[in-house]
Amino acid sequence: MAIGGPIGRRVDLTLTQKLLEINWLLVLVIMLIAAVGFAMLYSAANGQIDPWASRQMIRFAAGLALMLGIAVIDIRSWLRHAYLIYAAALLLLVAVELLGVVGMGARRWVDLGLFQLQPSEVMKIALVLALARYYHGLPLEEVERKRWLIVPLVMIAAPVALVMRQPDLGTAILLLATATAMLLLAGVRLWKFGVALGAIILAIPLAWRFLLHGYQKDRVLTYLDPERDPLGAGYHIMQSKIALGSGGLFGKGFMQGTQSHLSFLPERQTDFIFTMLAEEFGLIGCLGLLSLYVFVIAYGYAIAARARNHFGRLLATGVITTFFLYVFINMAMVMGLIPVVGVPLPLVSYGGTSMMSLLIGFGLVLSVYVHRDVTIPRRPNFPG
């Protein structure tokens, strides 16, 4: 063990020591949540491992290996390459505009041959990395000055604008909410958020008229009155509520849900998979999954608090906040508490890019934990 180095006081660990330092309890809980997803995808396919559960398992296995690989990479490497990763993600979003694949009425994917990549999911992690680096290198007394808000606001606005064009309102909201949490943690004054919130409220009529697409307006109107179009825009949420209520305390049993297996519940393998879980396992099953989520969120914030470097604290907080927003928005959406915005349930809903991006994010959180005793000056002496 050696202390010293050109960037700051640190604790040097071998690869074996880093693997032992990984928080394996957190890894285990992540695996348990994914296992719930495998079971529900198996049920969604009426007792068949294909087409969803088998693909999800393969993706998770690859993502798990990637997560562990990321965890042992020196955290200063992520600091060094944060802006480059952000730039690459932004270029991918531009590529969606030029070469994107259209699916379900939206242009959100780039065809890479072997698989289709959704760059907006990559940007969720890239934006966290870039903001963490920016505020790590900014002296605390400078954070409060207005001029230092210009760069992060541009960094946030560029991907949000590109994502809104796809259109993908759910991801745009996630990007904005995560960035807001990071700016707050970095030390930006509360009154500035108040001004921003006031501006957003004043802009709502303009956004309604010029920015929102027709189906997005229908989702908002359906949220306010689900029965206005029970066979059209209101169908999803009405069937979701029926399935949620019919599960009762203990549920109808594994693969015994009527709403989902009789095809009343749409998108049961993606956005509405929590509803299927509620119908089959009831309130007890929902609370069990929620407990696993709460553990990951609380544990993630605890890891952020223990980090001795500001970059690690911001990075872990940003990733865990993104994860929290995934959980909150999906569950609130299927319960009818907020409009339907198309946000998957993390590690449970079927989806390749979203799962991989989350596991990459957890790899970064684990890297923060492994390198929690590394201290990095607020202005590290490397180029770029």
The 10s digit of each residue's pLDDT in 326-335 is: 999 999 988 8
CA atoms of 245 and 65, how far apart (whole Å): 38
Asked whether residue 380 is domain-assigned, the answer is no
pLDDT at 223 over 50: yes
Most confident of 73-77, 188-192, 349-353: 73-77
* pLDDT for the residue 159: 95
Q: What's the DSSP call for residue 111?
A: E
Residue pair 7/76 in contact by the 8 Å Cβ criterion? yes
pLDDT band per the 50, 70, 90 thresholds, residue 227: low
Number of domains in the chain: 1
* pLDDT for the residue 229: 61
The domain in which residue 222 lies consists of: 15-370
Residue type, position 351, single letter: G
pLDDT tens figures, 87-116: 999 999 999 888 877 766 677 888 777 778
pLDDT tens figures, 65-88: 999 999 999 999 999 999 999 999
pLDDT tens figures, 26-71: 999 999 999 999 999 999 998 899 889 999 999 999 999 999 999 9
* pLDDT for the residue 2: 34
Asked whether residue 6 is domain-assigned, the answer is no
* pLDDT for the residue 97: 85
Q: What's the DSSP call for residue 80?
A: H
pLDDT at 4 over 50: no
Residue pair 136/314 in contact by the 8 Å Cβ criterion? yes
Asked whether residue 121 is domain-assigned, the answer is yes
Asked whether residue 117 is domain-assigned, the answer is yes
Mean of per-residue pLDDT scores for the chain: 85
Q: Phi and psi (nearest 5°) for 109?
A: -120, 155
- Strands 101-103 and 106-111 come out as antiparallel
Asked whether residue 377 is domain-assigned, the answer is no
Distance (Å) of CA 262 to CA 114, 126, 255, 308, 336: 33, 40, 11, 53, 22
> Percent of the chain having pLDDT more than 70?
88
pLDDT band per the 50, 70, 90 thresholds, residue 342: confident
pLDDT at 170 over 80: yes
Q: Phi and psi (nearest 5°) for 117?
A: -105, 135
Asked whether residue 301 is domain-assigned, the answer is yes
Distance (Å) of CA 96 to CA 165, 305, 368: 10, 37, 32
Arithmetic mean of pLDDT, 190-203: 72
CA atoms of 6 and 189, how far apart (whole Å): 33
Arithmetic mean of pLDDT, 278-304: 96
* H runs (alpha helix) in 81-189: 82-99, 119-136, 140-143, 150-164, 169-186
* pLDDT for the residue 147: 79
pLDDT band per the 50, 70, 90 thresholds, residue 338: confident
CA atoms of 242 and 259, how far apart (whole Å): 8
Element of type H or E holding 103: strand 101-103
Residue pair 86/375 in contact by the 8 Å Cβ criterion? no
Asked whether residue 381 is domain-assigned, the answer is no
* pLDDT for the residue 233: 59
pLDDT band per the 50, 70, 90 thresholds, residue 379: low
pLDDT tens figures, 231-282: 665 677 888 888 888 888 999 999 988 887 777 777 788 888 999 999 999 9
Asked whether residue 2 is domain-assigned, the answer is no
pLDDT band per the 50, 70, 90 thresholds, residue 133: very high
